[in-house]
Structure 1
Amino acid sequence: MRSVFEPGMLVRHPTRPDWGLGQVQSSIAGKITVNFEHAGKVVIDERLVLLQPQFGQ
């Protein structure tokens, strides 16, 4: 399964709004590495968390 998340995309975590805006760093085998404003670099399992793409930010 190919991820819809590509490096450079801006996203938000649905249950952690305090992390702020995040930028996708990589997406490999269902693991998405995101650098969030207030949480730093976090690896997200795409099967467990539905990140929210942010357009026009």
Structure 2
Amino acid sequence: MTGPFQSFLEPGQLVEHPDHPEWGWGQVQSAVGERVTVNFQHQGKVLIDASLIALRLLPR
């Protein structure tokens, strides 16, 4: 068994949801363990389990 999941994402980074491109880009608001809160352009704030969804990091 492995240890707790740790997200590599940090607040302020821009990401895209691989299954919902219509949400537009999102800015990471917080990342605690696998729980990542992202504020998307067209969807608003969404809590994502980063151990299940691999958000795509966008270049700045």
Q: What TM-score, normalized by structure 1, do the two folds share? A: 0.92
Kindly tell me the number of residue pairs found equivalent between the two proteins.
56
Q: Which runs of 4+ in 1 moved over 2 A?
A: none
Deviation for aligned residue 1:2: 2.9
Q: Take 2:34 and 2:51, find their aligned partners in 1: how far apart are those partners? A: 7
Q: Which residue of 1 aligns with 2:36?
A: 32
Deviation for aligned residue 1:7: 0.1
Structure 2: 5+ residue stretches without partners: none
Q: Which residue of 1 aligns with 2:49?
A: 45
Q: Which residue of 2 aligns with 1:55?
A: 59
Deviations 1:34-54, CA, capped at 9 Å, x for gaps: 000000000000111000000
SS of aligned partner of 1:50: coil
Question: Which of 1, 11, 14 is residue 10 of structure 1 equivalent to?
Answer: 14
Deviations 1:13-46, CA, capped at 9 Å, x for gaps: 0010000000000001210000000000000001
Structure 1: 5+ residue stretches without partners: none
Identity rate, percent: 50
SS of aligned partner of 1:38: coil
Alignment root-mean-square deviation, CA: 0.9
